[in-house]
A and B are shown apart, each in its own frame.
Chain A
Amino acid sequence: MKKLLSILIAALMMVGIMSVASAEVAIDVFQLKVEIDPMLQEFVKLYSEETEGVTVTAETLGGGADYGGAIKAKLAADQMPVIYMIEGAGGYDLWKDYIADMSTCAWVADTDLAYYSPEGKPVGFPIAMEGFGLGYNADILAAAEIDPATLTTFSAVKAAFEKLDGMKADLGLDSVVSCGTSSSGGLWWVTSQHVFNAYYAGYLDYNDSSVHDNCLAGVVDTERLTAFATYLGLLYQYSDPEILINGNYDAQVAAFAAGKAAFITQGNWIDPNMAQLGAEFPMGYISHCYLEEPTQGLFMAAPSWFVVNSQATPEQQAAAFAFLDYMATTEAGANYMVNEAGMVPAFKSVTQLPSGQFSKALVEASARGGNYNWYFGQNPDGFNQYTLGPIFELYGVDNDLDAFVADVTAAFASIVE
């Protein structure tokens, strides 16, 4: 009996040793873009099959769920993923002890949109390039004899809104603009992040962060803010109040797709929705023009980055670096990013073009130059949603420009308190 037992133990130990010797490196990706989950699953499967000794698995957190809270829960459960996402400075500051330097990776030289740590090390892999402006329905503008190429100043946009508003019945419009701002509809980010980014970045060089730096230091430019608030008030005034105050994403996008609104305040991520809703009319972007200085610049940047957990084993980190390199620099990776996931790639070597019209407009604008960066992601955690969100929503209800300017001014002053 004793002999049998010792043989059994020896056999078990052998199995243990052998499994260590042929150890597969397993890495996991934890991400939040629900719309690309099936494509990413296919891609990691392909990569795992092609790469000896490495298994990549991907997990996606459902739409609208709390990604930040979910990673914290994973950390607490000692299941910190090897590759996960951050969305800007807030995420970087929180997770900096778990973020590896990726200076050695090949993809770094191929993009301008990597996330750099304050020490100047590339640490974030740009997942895609996204962008927005004020989207328009070219058929409706043509029917109203408005040339979108002339809509480059505040007064031109205002005149166009007024003209369209007068022709609503003829054009079959419910409202000129499709815009949402409510927290109950889950659209607080449309105005308090994206449209407001025009204040931080509009009319400045791509890397000029001076206006936003001042905001973070508690100081706003009242003249610029008032001009922006006047423009935002115009968007609100010509929006369908039901969508503005109650509407959700589906309602906002559907109104534009159905030709019930001539403009929409959304980015190129609505391309798949346009296809689903069968919207085939020509569409494009104008800028958010709140000054009289002509501009065609769009707001484009990487909205989120993959980072590698620096507390994972060295083998896992190396495998993660190789995986990201593969995604950025190979034909299979480009195929996944562009054709499968429909994203605008952040890498210069990728020549394939996305099929969505808004995404194409971004690629064209990128080639044209004169575009603007994103800065809202660098605000403190929750500031956009819980501090600016109610201010923007309230402005949509009471249209009180002075109160809005005072509220925003006080909100930024409170950052440094």
Chain B
Amino acid sequence: MKRRGWVDALFIFPCALAFVMVIIFPFFIGIYYSMTNWDGVNPAISWVGLANFTGMFSQPQFLYSFMVTLLYTAINIVLVNVVGFLLSLLATSKARLRNLYRAGFFVPNLIGGIVLGYIWQFLFNNVLLNVGQSLGIGFLSSSLISKPNTVIWAMSFVNTWQYAGYIMMIYVASIQSISDSIMDAASVDGANYFKRISKILIPMMANAFTITIFLTLTTSFKQFDLNFSLTNGGPAMRFMGKAIRSSQLLAMDIYSTANGLNRMAEAQAKAVVFFILLVVFSLVQVYINKRREVEA
């Protein structure tokens, strides 16, 4: 049967139209708005050029949000992947109840981020606090989300608790695809457990690492819901001489600029910067990881 170009085009059309209307079109409108003084309501819009872009880099809050988001992302890439990997070893081991572990570790991922944030807020502010105070554990005797220097770690901990199970599933799939005979051959050759993991398992899982590091990088860089319900940007701290919110990650800073301060165009400019950063970071990461895959 002869294929006709216009028939193909007709089949693609509904999808292509939706894609253009909800992704491509708003994307370019967004870039346009980022160079205006749009407030979301007033139809009188005037062009301000790059003022929104230059302005944001003199705001202590934005600069701090930027730094703390990088820190949060770095912590989470390490923490989520290390924990996820260790859980996957446990879930693929010959331990009893391993299927139960597998399901159990995955369950936190099924709870929505907003709900999770409120649950952990209660745990940090009440349960852990009372445990810490009655047992005299120093670092728990004041709430971990009430101090600027611990709040990012507390958030990372909750994020790991939620997300490591999901990452574990990817590792589990990857480990199961490695033939047992390779591992058996290695152990016959005298490689101990840690040697087998570091010399065989990890190199053979390189493609899984590409995926998991990409996922953890992008999700923690874009973190919003947990941030919103767990800390709402607090506690306050001093940075560059100004009182700012110490756990307001970039996505939440964009949200606050748009909906709190009602500076829609400036928020849009921040979103454009956010987009570019995310694309650059994730492309670099995928490039580096892919090279490792080729070597393996």
A binds B: yes
Of B233, B236, B260, which is within 8 A of A394 by CB? B236
Q: Mark A109-120, 1 if CB is under 8 A from B, else 0.
A: 000000000000
Of A69, A95, A381, A393, which is within 8 A of B236 by CB? A393
In the complex, the answer to whether A184 meets B235 with C-beta atoms within 8 Å is: yes
On chain B, the residues within 8 Å of A66 by CB distance are 259
CA distance A393 to B245 in the complex (A): 10
On chain A, the residues within 8 Å of B207 by CB distance are none
CA distance A247 to B237 in the complex (A): 18
In the complex, the answer to whether A382 meets B262 with C-beta atoms within 8 Å is: yes
On chain A, the residues within 8 Å of B258 by CB distance are 69
Closest chain A residue to B253, Cβ basis: A386
Total chain A interface residues with beta-carbon distance under 8 A: 34
Q: A68-B259, A381-B262, A407-B242 are in contact. Are A97 and B236 (CB under 8 A)?
A: no
B282 at the interface (CB under 8 A from A): no
A370 at the interface (CB under 8 A from B): no
In the complex, the answer to whether B41 meets A183 with C-beta atoms within 8 Å is: no
In the complex, the answer to whether B145 meets A184 with C-beta atoms within 8 Å is: yes
Interface residues of A in 393-417 (CB under 8 A from B): 393-394, 397, 403, 407, 410
CA distance A383 to B256 in the complex (A): 11
Q: A94-B42, A382-B261 are in contact. Are A394 and B231 (CB under 8 A)?
A: no
In the complex, the answer to whether A182 meets B146 with C-beta atoms within 8 Å is: yes
Interface residues of A in 213-250 (CB under 8 A from B): 242, 245-247
Interface residues of A in 372-400 (CB under 8 A from B): 380-383, 385-386, 389-391, 393-394, 397
On chain A, the residues within 8 Å of B245 by CB distance are 183, 386, 389-390
On chain B, the residues within 8 Å of A68 by CB distance are 259, 262
Q: Interface size class for chain B?
A: 20 to 34
In the complex, the answer to whether B121 meets A184 with C-beta atoms within 8 Å is: yes
In the complex, the answer to whether B236 meets A183 with C-beta atoms within 8 Å is: yes
Min CB distance, B290 to chain A, in Å?
40
On chain A, the residues within 8 Å of B39 by CB distance are 94
Q: Mark A292-331, 1 if CB is under 8 A from B, else 0.
A: 0000000000000000000000000000000000000000
CA distance A90 to B41 in the complex (A): 13
In the complex, the answer to whether B234 meets A94 with C-beta atoms within 8 Å is: no
In the complex, the answer to whether A391 meets B243 with C-beta atoms within 8 Å is: yes
Among A383, A393, A410, max chain B CB count under 10 A is at A393
CA distance A183 to B61 in the complex (A): 15
Min CB distance, A234 to chain B, in Å?
20
Q: Mark B141-175, 1 if CB is under 8 A from A, else 0.
A: 00101100000000000000000000000000000
B291 at the interface (CB under 8 A from A): no
B219 at the interface (CB under 8 A from A): no
Q: A97-B42, A182-B146, A246-B146 are in contact. Are A397 and B260 (CB under 8 A)?
A: no
On chain B, the residues within 8 Å of A407 by CB distance are 242-243
B289 at the interface (CB under 8 A from A): no
On chain B, the residues within 8 Å of A410 by CB distance are 242
A14 at the interface (CB under 8 A from B): no
On chain B, the residues within 8 Å of A167 by CB distance are none
Residues on B lying within 8 angstroms of A by beta carbon are 39-43, 61, 121, 125, 129, 143, 145-146, 230-238, 242-245, 256, 258-262
Additional A-B contact list (9), CB under 8 Å, known A182-B235, A183-B231, A242-B125? A72-B40, A72-B41, A94-B41, A98-B41, A183-B236, A184-B121, A382-B256, A391-B243, A394-B237
